[in-house]
Amino acid sequence: MKNNTKAIYMAILAIMTWIGLCVQFYISTEKYMSQGRTFGGAIVQLLSYFTIQNNLLIALALTVLLLWPASKWGSFFSKLSVLSALTLYITIVCLVYQIVLRRQHTQHGLFKFCDEILHTLSPPLFVLFWLIFVDKGKLAWSKAFSWLIYPLIYFIFIIARGVITGYYPYSFIDGTKLNLGQIAVNFFFLLLTFLAIGLIYIGISRLSKKQT
């Protein structure tokens, strides 16, 4: 019964996230191409968003675990450390949007539809998936530090790309409005948030293992 409930939950969340992503890709590429970008350039710009990257990852993980659990990718995504990392990243997506970004712009129509799916619905639902359905284990505390590698690489890429193109996807790392020191401070505190929440998730996992 639990396995059936888990599969249904995963399917609903995967479908919802894929719908949000597909609609977002369609409307955003249309918008960017109307501004003179090529299709490839529009895709690259859209993929520069941490939100898009991580919603793609959780949608892909859920789909693979549902349809091809015995595959090489199924084995990869089934690892507790991988699922926990994805949970951390999608948590940050939700928190940064709700606390920092939501009040900075107002979306309408399909853009708002996608915003709510990718920032407000899929993140907490994936966290619930991790809390309820993922078998916990004794994750090493050091994992919280290794999970910082991806956001660090992302930050370096976005800053380097911004210097070249003049485009920054998020206001708190916008090199056209902030100096390098301000950007560094903002990212430092964001990295501390990654670390703190990562440690919380590791603590939850270790505590859950003790109770089973």
Spell out the domain ranges in the chain: 2-211
H-type alpha helices, 117-179: 122-133, 143-146, 149-165
pLDDT in tens, 148-180: 999 999 999 999 999 999 999 999 999 999 999
> What CA–CA distance (Å, rounded) separates 31 from 34?
5
pLDDT in tens, 45-97: 899 999 999 999 999 999 999 999 999 999 999 999 999 999 999 999 999 99
H-type alpha helices, 35-70: 39-47, 50-67
> What CA–CA distance (Å, rounded) separates 160 from 112?
29
For the whole model, what pTM was predicted? 0.94
